[in-house]
Structure 1
């Protein structure tokens, strides 16, 4: 079983507008609400692929109730930890020119008891692969407390990422900017090597339209999509994590894992909302992704 953990759950609100102009009034053509947070998005993608997955998440207040109702309607297995605070909302504005604007609320403060209940839920499930995703809300402990005892993937940023390396995650998945932020290094291969020295088993770096870079104990690879896609990029990184979890759980080689991850990321860009994937594109693209060993440094500056 793959278990995803989302300490900072959200209700995702997505607006579609003709164009986004600062300081002006906008009228949305379409408004959609969906249970979100990075781990929930990962679980949604895995569920669409037919994987054995369970989401562990927090939920509180009327917004939390809406999150629970959406997960139940989508038939995504979930363990929900009740919290006293109101679950946050995240807002995405999709404009016709292809721009994507996000506003993310910080999330409610967790009590020590709420965090320990979340950690206990993870231990009870005994996952084959554990996915820890997203920001940590105020009052939360660290992801290092949850890692260990199973294969694991960490997708967070900043201090939460650095602190979690003590838990020795199997894979860490920052994007290029997040990697540069925590290491101070502009070269992603050198920066990824620093995270490996600090405890990460492997580092998979999202390079946007250029694909993925994987720095592992068995080699370094760059995987590129066959074509540049336009669409909603908000769930692309979560789709990468979903593919990494599948590949890690099935013991696939790194080149095969990366082919699936790039293909699924593109499939998410073609989906209307975070957590949606175009399965036809996913299956077609896997055979078209170019994966090359990279013995030297990759300069993305």
Structure 2
């Protein structure tokens, strides 16, 4: 069982634009609204690929009602904790001419102390039968300093593998709390550690208590770094599309394999890189292209030198 926890969910709004011109007015077809946030994207991908998943998150206000309705229609098993503040929105503008995406994320409003406790209680119940707990996404401004560590502790006390995908100081806190896996990208890693070299930055997270660091490097693929070594994986070619959910797909791959008892970093990074690349080919976050098996077959892995 995989339990995903999304402390700061969003109603994801996506529009495809023929070409974005700054300062200009654009006409587009009707956009798509989906229940999102990184943990929800992970849950969607894992569920679609046959994973046993429960998504735990919050919902509030008018956007929360739309969020809840879409999530119910998706078929992804979930537990929603009601909160007073409206669920935030995330806006993605996909420029079809350039093949890239501009994203505007609302920061979100932090729940009350009682609402945080309700989310913690719901998580504690869900993780009792979990093999893997995934905690993904940002924390809203004003969230308790120990919030992430408390979620990680719930997972660890249940005997689960805990995967965390976050950024900023929370990334260091997750390492110190003993997260089994951390999945930053290069920018997040540098910002959190202050170390420019990605391998040295990943080793700092290991030193602080993490077990495995999966480092996203965009079109250059991924690195898997453990105390015993590192593996590099690269897709066969650069792919144009919507990269919004690529990192979430990588986390889903890791979660599904670990829930099946597979912990080999080489197998994990190959699958994570393939699912990440396959996510870029899809118009919306939370989906991967069925060609992922071909992509995985063509992925190359290597052992880069420490000095690279």
Counterparts of 1:69 and 1:38, CA distance in 2: 18
Paired with 2:27 and 2:8, the residues of 1 have a C-alpha distance of: 29
| 1:135 alignment partner in structure 2 | 138
> Could you tell me whether the CA contact under 8 Å between 1:111 and 1:139 is conserved in 2?
no
Flag structure 1 segments of 5+ consecutive residues without an equivalent.
none
Three-state SS of the structure 1 residue aligned to 2:239 is: coil
Match of 1:154 in 2: 164
State the match for 2:277 in structure 1. 266
What residue is the counterpart of 1:284 in the other structure? 294
Aligned to 1:271, the other structure's residue is in SS state coil
Indicate if the aligned counterparts of 2:100 and 2:240 stay in contact, CA closer than 8 A. Answer: no
Contact 2:172 2:193 in 1 (8 A): no
Deviation at residue 104 of structure 1 after TM alignment: 0.2
Distance in structure 1 (CA, Å) of the matches to 2:285 and 2:272: 16
- Structure 1 moving runs of 4+ over 6 Å: none
- 8 A contact 1:110–1:138 mirrored in 2: no
Please, which of 204, 207, 212 is the counterpart of residue 197 of structure 1? 207
1:99 equivalent in structure 2: 100
2:252 is the counterpart of 1:242: yes
CA distance in 1, matches of 2:142, 2:117: 11
Q: Give the TM-score normalised by the residue count of structure 1.
A: 0.96
CA distance in 1, matches of 2:69, 2:227: 42
Q: Which residue in 2 is equivalent to 1:115? A: 116
How far residue 68 of structure 1 moved from its aligned partner, in angstroms, is: 1.0
Relative to structure 2, which stretch is displaced further, 163-172 or 138-147? 138-147
Structure 2 alignment gaps of length 5 or more:
none
Q: Distance in 2 between matches of 1:170 and 1:189?
A: 18
SS of residue matched to 1:230 = coil
Q: State how many pairs are aligned.
A: 297
Alignment map for 1:174-193 (pairs within 5 Å): 174-193=184-203
> CA offsets per residue over residues 236-272 of structure 1, 9 Å max, x none?
0000000111122223211111111011011100111
Is 2:41 aligned against 1:41? yes
* Distance in structure 1 (CA, Å) of the matches to 2:228 and 2:55: 31
Q: Does 1:145 align with 2:150?
A: yes
Select between 47-56 and 134-143 the one with higher mean Cα deviation. 134-143
TM-score normalised to structure 2 length: 0.94
CA RMSD of aligned residues (A): 1.2
